[in-house]
Structure 1
Amino acid sequence: MNPLATIQKIYFIGIGGIGMSALARYFHAKGVEVSGYDKTSTPLTRALEDSGIKIHYEERVELAPKDADVVVYTPAIPAQHAELVYYKEHGYTVVKRSDVLQWITESSFNICVGGTHGKTTVTTMIAHLLRHSGYGCNAFLGGISANYQTNFWSNERNVVVVEADEYDRSFLKLVPDIAVITAMDPDHLDIYGTAEEVEKAFIQFSQKVKPGGCLVTKYGLKRGADLKAARHFEYSVDNTAAGVHAADIKVEQGSYRFDVVAENWKLNDVVLHVGGLHNIENVLAAITVAKYLQIGDEQIKAAVADFKGVHRRFEYVLKNTAHTLIDDYAHHPEELRALISGVRSLFGKEQLVLVFQPHLFSRTKDLADAFAESLDMADEVILLPIYPARELPMEGVSSELILNKMKLKHKQVLDKEVMKGWMKEHKPGLVVMAGAGDIDAQVQAVKELLL
């Protein structure tokens, strides 16, 4: 039985997470009493508190509500968390975020976007196209939309656009009418073990598409031949063998103008104001979905031109004649490769200083060679210490592991304070800060130092 209708009080352990906060907003908008715990206060938790949601920041059972109908936790919470243990031992309904998304999407038309990278941007682009064009949707995003300053919105139309997260295999609980797969690269090997298991999970995800549904995938994916659906469209930024591709790409004052060419339609003069060639590819996926939903060409073009991006996805924090500072969530070697290539497409041979904070000991260990290779594409690299997130330290695994594999001449590992001192002294013209940990908390300070 779907318990959604009976929930009057819901409690979130890890309410400040990007996915968890979207669910908290959903229930709050429905008039359910929402409260939660998180480790630290952040702009996200403060926004939730401003909307009337009660949050505490100490791991104490006496602060946790005893009358919650449902308790939701994120996999990022340690299994021995005192509140989580209490609820499990006392017979409460305790579920993961993915279970709640499953309940919400059981009776709606679902557009589910998966992929080891690119999914947050594509999800936000699709949701924006549907909202801007007047088509309408409910959106659960893995980032903050720069157009609407939120990661959730509701609409009376029973259409849900949701980010399908492969971590913990949670995306296999969703049933898409339209599924998008942006990438199937090795990641979360602490969960999957091997690259083959990651690919297998994405093949399973593609098989979850409802009969008669639609699958949109990036062209050239490894094992792409195993991804099948009643309707299947492939997209590529530059490969004309793909069913949907870009043509005649021009750079105009930091923006892109291009045509979209498909087998039986064409969209001329599309303008995208978000940097990075990978974002042209991302918007091709979103446009393909919009065309499938029969949204008009002029509405699509107007929505793309109005798209302002996602916070921490190729986000310009500073852009003047002397300095450019870009903040990005990239935390996988392929994301770094796309990020650096995107910067190069706009800024040519300008000296690029990249500050990168590795995320997770396991990811650093599994992908150290690939990280080194991607980072070598910059001119100068500053590595911060690893952000551990949910993990305990691993012997022999540190940022030096990546550093020692790099061929680049100008590279160093610095802690945050020393890095800021370096910025103050050198004041580089083009700086990119990347990572999924807490590096974003340093971005404003670096901006001020550059100014």
Structure 2
Amino acid sequence: MQYTNLKRIYFIGIGGIGMSALARYFHFNNVVVTGYDRTETALTKQLQQEGIAIHFTDDIALADLNADLIIYTPAIPKEHKEYNYFLANGYPIRKRAQVLGELSASKFTIAIAGSHGKTTVSSMIAWILKHSGYDCTAFLGGISANFNSNFVAGKNDVMVIEADEFDRSFLQLHPDIAVITAVDSDHLEIYGTQQELEKTFTEFAHQVTEKGKVVLKSSLPILKNIKREKYSYSINDTNADLFVADYKITLSGSQVRLNNGMQYKLIYPGIHNIENSVAASSVALLLGIEKNNIISALNVFNGVHRRFEIMYQNDAIVFIDDYAHHPEEIAMFLKSVRAIYTGKKITAIFQPHLFTRTRDLAEGFSESLSIADEVLLLPIYPARELPIEGVSSAMIYNNILSPSKHLMEKENLLEYIQTQPLEIVCTIGAGDIDKLVEPIARTLKQKNPQL
């Protein structure tokens, strides 16, 4: 499909992080963009402030019936009225992934996939390319602190795309460089088994162009199955092409030295983010960007919204917010918190995301959350799913080994925070737990005012 002549595009699910980046792209290119989303959020408010009209009721009378194209997210329910109207009346309809695949077909595309880490790596790559003058257009799965957006406009033919494995969306892409950060069990409601997930990631790697390259973590089991030019990276594997020779974590960030002599400081905390920086550096080096330019970019990389984001701190307490919603992500996050704030009591407030994910990974959630000294478990955020009988946060709660653990409703959380002794407070999850971040921060400020 040709996108250059489109005048009006209507988005169903425009408030999603991936959909909103695409909406911003077309808006930037002078297309009239409007859309629907189920819930008003800070992101939808930003889109409205940028000039994109959005409504929050599934009502065809409110939709743009003159749209040249309808773009939808697969997360919408099958009975969605607007979607079914457009489908029945012959409107051109595309999934977000299809549009990205077609937009990037004629571009030099760098696609970053993985069950975790992909948003940070995508943001790091985009920042290095922009900061060095290489330039790019980027579609990110989070709000980059450096760009204050999930969309970055560029003037050349290079595209950086965060590639989503949900619904096998990333198979729409044919990248020149594919990056794979992790292949941990997730979206098993789609894939069924870990083996099928690995098979699909391998298929994604083989989507690269004839002279394309694959950059991936050296410990991934799929590495041996990939029959393309490949480059490995690691935080600790000295057999990888690029690895961390030495690092030191402090309260002010991480000092990192790579085996190729590169040395830089990350002000963005977390052991996992050291590894993410190696992945991003691998891509930049393959593009021929000078080491000094990579170093200078990483030195001033400010991270991604809701990724180890410090919301409040003083001498008595630290409050960190993180998007982690998979057991491996939570474990890496809490291990990093433990490494930075040695000897401090860690209170983890976790909202599970999806009934299927909770059902499939409950044991892993229990194990990773047990790294914290105290766990406050909120009810499951359903997102696109209906409840599953017998599946609740109690499945996780029962096997948590932390000295203190509580099943808690949202409305009781602030009172608990106000009355209990706390040192390191962490909100964790991909649902609407972000709506609690500001109230928690206010409560902690009142309880522990900055000295």
1:418 matched residue in structure 2: 412
AA paired with 2:410? K
2:354 matched residue in structure 1: 360
Mapped to 2, the partners of 1:109 and 1:153 lie a distance apart of 15
Tell me the CA shift for residue 375 of structure 1: 0.8
Aligned ranges for residues 35-184 of structure 1 at < 5 Å?
Answer: 35-184=34-183
Is 1:251–1:257's contact at 8 Å kept on the other side of the alignment?
Answer: yes
Is 1:236–1:284's contact at 8 Å kept on the other side of the alignment?
Answer: yes
Mapped to 2, the partners of 1:253 and 1:420 lie a distance apart of 27
1:266 matched residue in structure 2: 261
2:306 matched residue in structure 1: 312
Is 1:428–1:450's contact at 8 Å kept on the other side of the alignment?
Answer: no
Is 1:427–1:450's contact at 8 Å kept on the other side of the alignment?
Answer: no
2:448 matched residue in structure 1: none
Mapped to 2, the partners of 1:124 and 1:159 lie a distance apart of 14
AA paired with 1:146? A
2:245 matched residue in structure 1: 247
Is 1:376–1:406's contact at 8 Å kept on the other side of the alignment?
Answer: yes
2:288 matched residue in structure 1: 294
Tell me the CA shift for residue 222 of structure 1: 2.0
Tell me the CA shift for residue 8 of structure 1: 1.1
1:378 matched residue in structure 2: 372
Unaligned runs of 5+ in 2: 446-451
Is 2:250–2:340's contact at 8 Å kept on the other side of the alignment?
Answer: no
Mapped to 2, the partners of 1:140 and 1:124 lie a distance apart of 9
AA paired with 1:98? A
Mapped to 1, the partners of 2:251 and 2:207 lie a distance apart of 42
Q: String of CA shifts for 1:29-88, please: whole Å, max 9, x gaps.
A: 111111000112111111111111111111111111111111011111111011001000
Mapped to 2, the partners of 1:55 and 1:94 lie a distance apart of 19
Mapped to 1, the partners of 2:26 and 2:374 lie a distance apart of 46
Q: String of CA shifts for 1:99-130, please: whole Å, max 9, x gaps.
A: 11011101000000000000011000100110
AA paired with 1:447? A
Tell me, what secondary structure is at the counterpart of 1:3?
coil
AA paired with 2:253? S
Number of aligned positions between the proteins? 445
Tell me the CA shift for residue 427 of structure 1: 4.5
| Of 46-55 and 250-259, the range deviating more from structure 2 | 250-259
2:234 matched residue in structure 1: 236
Q: Sequence identity, in percent? A: 48
Q: RMSD value over aligned CA atoms? A: 1.0
AA paired with 1:240? T
AA paired with 2:324? A
Tell me, what secondary structure is at the counterpart of 2:4?
helix
Tell me, what secondary structure is at the counterpart of 1:113?
strand
Tell me, what secondary structure is at the counterpart of 2:233?
strand
Mapped to 2, the partners of 1:258 and 1:61 lie a distance apart of 54
Tell me, what secondary structure is at the counterpart of 1:397?
coil
1:336 matched residue in structure 2: 330
Tell me, what secondary structure is at the counterpart of 1:220?
coil
1:26 matched residue in structure 2: 25
2:432 matched residue in structure 1: 438
Tell me the CA shift for residue 326 of structure 1: 0.7
Mapped to 2, the partners of 1:294 and 1:224 lie a distance apart of 24
AA paired with 1:155? G
Q: String of CA shifts for 1:226-279, please: whole Å, max 9, x gaps.
A: 12322x111111221222111221224431112111xxx321x21101111000
Mapped to 2, the partners of 1:300 and 1:371 lie a distance apart of 36
Matched, 1:283 2:277: yes
Runs of 4+ in 1 over 2 A off after TM superposition: 251-254
Tell me, what secondary structure is at the counterpart of 2:3?
helix
Tell me the CA shift for residue 349 of structure 1: 2.3
Q: String of CA shifts for 1:267-305, please: whole Å, max 9, x gaps.
A: 1x2110111100000000001111111111111111001
Tell me, what secondary structure is at the counterpart of 1:259?
strand
Is 2:113–2:181's contact at 8 Å kept on the other side of the alignment?
Answer: yes
Unaligned runs of 5+ in 1: none
Tell me, what secondary structure is at the counterpart of 1:4?
coil
Mapped to 2, the partners of 1:444 and 1:54 lie a distance apart of 26
Q: TM-score, normalised by structure 1?
A: 0.97
Mapped to 2, the partners of 1:228 and 1:287 lie a distance apart of 23
